[in-house]
Chains A and B, each alone.
Chain A
């Protein structure tokens, strides 16, 4: 008996209620899988979101704001002439593969994007061109100090360094995987890749050595669940913990469901109908103007977004500091027709191609519905439109190649800088077919100048003036029909908390907490 009791005691001790462990898994349902996990090559939100978990940048946004704070760079200095940015790097940071993060790694990252001859340069590095074209040289001062010298002062420079595209990759991994690196991402971020089962799921696990504190959850899984309804059913049934981009109409039920919660953040985005100014008849600004009056935005904004959006008058959302109130083009079909007549519009034999993504986006929840509404509206004024829908990747490829007459797109701002919108989307620099973000293919030297000056000037008020002028200039040329600024909505179950939903519609899961059910 004496020998039994300690055993019994231990047995009883062992029977404890299950504890909350860090081995909780957070399941995130999204409309689509990521395309690439090489941050320099990612241009879609789904890829960007995953990259934001895997990589750190030199600087980052403060939580829930658009303010810049140190990340992999502890501090930085700018030379008086504004061209030399010297960064002191954080020490003791290792990549997920164990290699050291240092000046060499930073330079590798920057050089491969900058230098076309770099052995690991990829043709589709998306963000560099737009953001860092003016980097003159990169210098290594010492193991933990780099200097970026830009040709001319560039105000959005720092903000651009906080964009997901500047996530620091492991040079060792790039060297190892080469072109295939995009499938084998290695960063310094709070999560590291376990497995990417294409089309099925991306599984990340917590990085216990993360320099900013390991995440509370053990695993983070991104599940592509096409169809908003499926995502709704999944989250209602508890199959997923987080559902992104549910259909706005479904959000009604979500709101009523006691176990579901909706996170809403003012989105730094815009959805628009872009008109390819390179394709006739859309090269005529009067026709473009006519189109802008032909479209009834109210039902689009209200019905499609279900009250979760604002009608856009320009590219910049009201949350941007450079936003100006532009005139809302009133829905006036009669005016539209008159303008078309004045422009001697002749309906082309082939209807205008309206390219649209089949995948709902944050900035555009029901793209095809919107396309239908637009097509209907345009048809009413005698502009025939053919809707061509593609999955997102294809849609982006085609539109950047300029295959469209009209296209529906949107843009989520990566940094809080208006340059990110206006320069990227309207400057002639970005109107290179094949690599174009300026899918209206607007090429306006005056605009270009304005935008460049705004880039170079660091004084905010000066920049504001430039950008105001730029927006007015853009609006006058009507390259777009701006549709709406969407709120970023994230649905999650009530036992999940502390998901950081950003205005750029990617969520940070670093601090997410799962409560035991």
Chain B
């Protein structure tokens, strides 16, 4: 099959000048080894310098170039044009306010991410002079896959709960909270639990699993959240049935 050109149908919106979004069509050359991101870069470099979108690493590490490709949340640097039909529709990530063209506003996610304290909280009083806090390979394996998250927000775009409940903390942030909760070096569970175990936390998830399907890094946010429910439920029952315990 030889294709000379393909068409990109691109979502355009400039809130300063446009009343409403519109779709613009670009005919571009077809290259077998081009990613959708390469196609967008061709448009930007040769056809329309006003097209706005985020990208950086071009290798599925930075998490900047997530967009809807034919309606599915995808990293444009991980999707080859050869895998699509002759016309490819590109839109900004769903469930986020659009800043301009294919760029979405990530403020909501950023504040939610910070609120679950996604870093090691070490409250034991071992001085640094005692050296490293060692971890066995088994202890690493417990949380290893969840460290793969690159905050690309594809999971938020895919999540039907996030689209229904704006306050839902959402897949990536809850996964990172879980990643630290199950880290043997961490003592921060109770600090995070106030958010993670709230109605806006793991309990808002109804286990649709779309987050795990779209994750470009093979992280399984749905599993992290279900494991988080078990931990959170155990904490809840211990707190209410054994109030004298220090849980």
A, B from the same assembly: no
* Residues of B bordering A, CB below 8 Å: none
